[in-house]
Amino acid sequence: MKHYQYEVIVVGGGHAGCEAALAAARRGAKTLLITSNIDNIALMPCNPSIGGPGKGHVVREIDALGGEMAKNTDKATLHLRRLNTSKGPAMWALRAQVDKKIYSQEMIHTLQIQENLDLKQEMVTRLIVEDQRVKGVRVKSGLEFSSATVILTAGTFLNGLIYIGEIVYSAGRAGEIASIDLAENLKELGFKIGRLNTCTPPRLDRRTVDFSSLEEQKSADIPLAFSLENEGKIYSDFSVFMTRTNQKTHQIIQNNINRVPFYNGTIQSVSTRYCPSIEAKIIRFPEKNSHQLFLEPEGYNTEEIYLQGFFTSLPPDTQEEALRTLRGLEKAKIIRYGYAIEYDIIYPHQLKYSLETKMIKGLFLAGQINGTSGYEEAAEQGLIAGLNAVQLLSGKEPLILDRSEAYIAVEIDDLVTKGITEPYRLRTGLAEYRLLLRQDNADLRLTPYGYKLGLISRERYKKFLKKKELIEQEKRRLKKVIIPPTEEVNSSLTNKLHTAPLSGMVTLATLLSRPEVTYDQIASLDPDRPELPREVAEQVEIQIKYEGYIKRQEIQVKRFRKLENYKIPQNIDYSGLRGISHEGREKFSQIQPLSLGQAKRIPGISPADITALMINVEKIKKQASA
């Protein structure tokens, strides 16, 4: 059998696979991406949108680390909004509706023209593993490809099963073949396998929807972009529309609930609470008379409309019947029915922070295979796995961020430390230090890492340093310029800015810290203000306005870091440690925590176990130094 020599093999061409392959190839590793259907690379099998609270933050982080998702989104955007603008800056988020086809095609082309990267349409059937080290993969045609690292991004393909009403069949996604051999192989290798499921809504024929009666949500009227490398744009060709379920809809679903695989016992696996099916919403919240639904465009060259919020595995006839009770959808025709898909995952506590498996050296896992849901969550894992595969090849330390640095780190820490009980979805609520993890400062937080790892160009890094300097300069200036409480100033404050007059001298910074006052507004009191790029002004405004909160959050981070920096030696035989409960020992040896902070976050670990662990660690350290 002929052998092919690669340094990194990526299995799967979804959002995780794309970022992994690009990151590895861009860092100079000889990389191969194998996927069962090249046309379906970067496919969006569910919603045609990128971003939202938490997720949008991650897209910005991917951009700052030199990943592709933000740039690719900007190429395919149809409609772009800023969410949560009435909330604090930690909550602000971008969400784009994208053209699915363009998104996929652009990504395919980016992969095709990437140096060091080969694409191959093949189905991987097994991993080649010797002495707990990965050596390559074997594909259905019998070929073997060898490589010191393999990144598995199998998505929903492992033993995938599609459910629509009473119908069940094997599939990786609608219309694609499931990976059964590979799933079997992973089980044989000894991985602990779990099973999750997720739902997708029906796609409607645009021509059969009456938009005239529906509420319209327009794209933002200011120029926006996900990637910092792109100029903002205003999009006006497409809108999102809203409709609502009603009592009739609920009644129809209720009447057919026994035909839903989740409710008649056909599906036993776990679904996420954060993206509930329409039938789950109706059963769980019977007091709610109505649920919002969104009609989202799927692209320029398609008449398909995505019905956000109507995730379902109802039988096709019921889907049709229920839809027609909705305003504007009275005559709607379904092009693709909603369905549920159930798939194998590898429980992520079997991973290191680098996303390498603890059991098999060189094998990395990223994306839905780790129990997450969402394109963005998958993409960032792919990026981290790609980066760390190359770090491993070159004998360097992996990139491990902590929870106070990035959403990426929050997600990976949650996965490897807390494990999975339902499909994992990022939310801002998961980030303890979210005021520091804003989408607007993702570049400030992470560009240095991207640059150091070679994914951010020198030119972009220089621009970044310049931006940082401008921000600091302007902050210093605002803290120095003093505004006297003259009559003129006070009349301007009360009449134009609708804020309280001054009783004494204040700096511009103090004035700006009033919640109702904006940076733009005080321009009239600030004749010497320099001309600054919009994103610099935005940073200055946020950093000054929320300074008190940011400082308090930084104090919380310091407390957090103390335990994170308390390192626990690896390869401890926990079964031999005294004073730790049986359960504690089991969990510690399963997770192999890197720090006392991580140990503390393991669910079910008692304070006594932590203290006993610390004493043992002190003892081990002392013996090591003796």
Partner 1 sequence: MGEEDSEHIKMKFGENDTIAAISTPPGESGIGIVRLSGPKAMRIAQKVFRDKRFSKVDIEKFPSHTAHYGLIVDPRHQEIIDEAILILMKKPKTYTREDVVEFDCHGGILSLKRVLEVLINSGARIAEPGEFTKRAFLSGRIDLSQAEAVIDLIQAKSESSRKASLAQLEGGLKKKITTLRGKLVEIFAEIEAPLDFPDQEIEELSEIKLQKRLEEILKEVTTLLATLDYGKILSEGVNTVIIGKTNVGKSSLFNTLLKEERAIVTPLPGTTRDTLEELVNIKGVIFRLIDTAGLKNPENLVEEISLQRRGNFLAKADLILAMFEVSSQLSEEDKEIIQEINQARERNQKVIIVENKIDLKEELEREKLLELLNIKDSVRISLKAHRGIDKLEEELSNAVLQGLVIPPDGVIINNVRQAEALKRAKKGLEYALEGVNRKMPYDLLSIDLKDSLDALGEITGDSINEEIINHIFSRFCIGK
Which lies closer to partner 1 via its Cβ, residue 38 or residue 283?
283
Instruction: Give the whole-angstrom CA distance, residue 48 versus residue 377.
Output: 15
Smallest distance, partner 1 to C-beta of residue 605, A: 9
- Residue 418 φ then ψ, to 5°: -95, -20
Cα separations (Å) of 290 from 213, 244, 245, 250, 316? 17, 6, 5, 8, 22
- Residue 35, classed as helix, strand or coil, is strand
Smallest distance, partner 1 to C-beta of residue 389, A: 32
Instruction: Give the whole-angstrom CA distance, residue 256 versus residue 269.
Output: 21
Smallest distance, partner 1 to C-beta of residue 47, A: 12
Bridge partners (DSSP) listed for residue 97: 49, 79
Instruction: Give the whole-angstrom CA distance, residue 95 versus residue 203.
Output: 20
Cα separations (Å) of 549 from 337, 434, 446, 514, 553? 47, 11, 21, 13, 6
Nearest to 31 by CA among 7, 2, 4: 7
Which residues in this chain contact partner 1 in the complex, by CB under 8 A?
53-54, 83-84, 86-88, 90-91, 274, 292, 294, 308-309, 427-429, 432, 434-435, 515-516, 546, 548-549, 551-553, 555-556, 558-560, 562-563, 566, 578-579, 581, 596, 600, 606-608, 610-612, 614-616, 618-619, 622
Which lies closer to partner 1 via its Cβ, residue 12 or residue 53?
53
Phi-psi region at 142: left, alpha or beta (left = phi > 0; alpha = psi -120 to 50): left
Instruction: Give the whole-angstrom CA distance, residue 109 versus residue 124.
Output: 22
Phi-psi region at 344: left, alpha or beta (left = phi > 0; alpha = psi -120 to 50): beta
Smallest distance, partner 1 to C-beta of residue 5, A: 46
- Residue 241, classed as helix, strand or coil, is strand
Contact 73, 50 (CB under 8 A): yes
Smallest distance, partner 1 to C-beta of residue 431, A: 11
Smallest distance, partner 1 to C-beta of residue 90, A: 6
Instruction: Give the whole-angstrom CA distance, residue 560 versus residue 99.
Output: 42
Question: Exposure pattern of 210-243 as b/e (b: 16+ CB <10 Å)?
Answer: eeeebeeeebbeeebbbbbebeeeebeebbbbbb
Smallest distance, partner 1 to C-beta of residue 563, A: 6
Smallest distance, partner 1 to C-beta of residue 305, A: 17
Smallest distance, partner 1 to C-beta of residue 337, A: 23
SS3 content of the chain, % helix, strand, coil (to 5): 40, 20, 40
Instruction: Give the whole-angstrom CA distance, residue 537 versus residue 455.
Output: 27
Which lies closer to partner 1 via its Cβ, residue 247 or residue 258?
247
Contact 30, 5 (CB under 8 A): yes
Instruction: Give the whole-angstrom CA distance, residue 601 versus residue 611.
Output: 14
- Residue 546, classed as helix, strand or coil, is coil
Smallest distance, partner 1 to C-beta of residue 159, A: 31
Tokens 């089991």 label which residue? 586
Smallest distance, partner 1 to C-beta of residue 552, A: 6
Smallest distance, partner 1 to C-beta of residue 511, A: 14
Classify residue 312 by burial, with Cβ atoms within 10 Å: 0-12, 13-18, 19+: buried
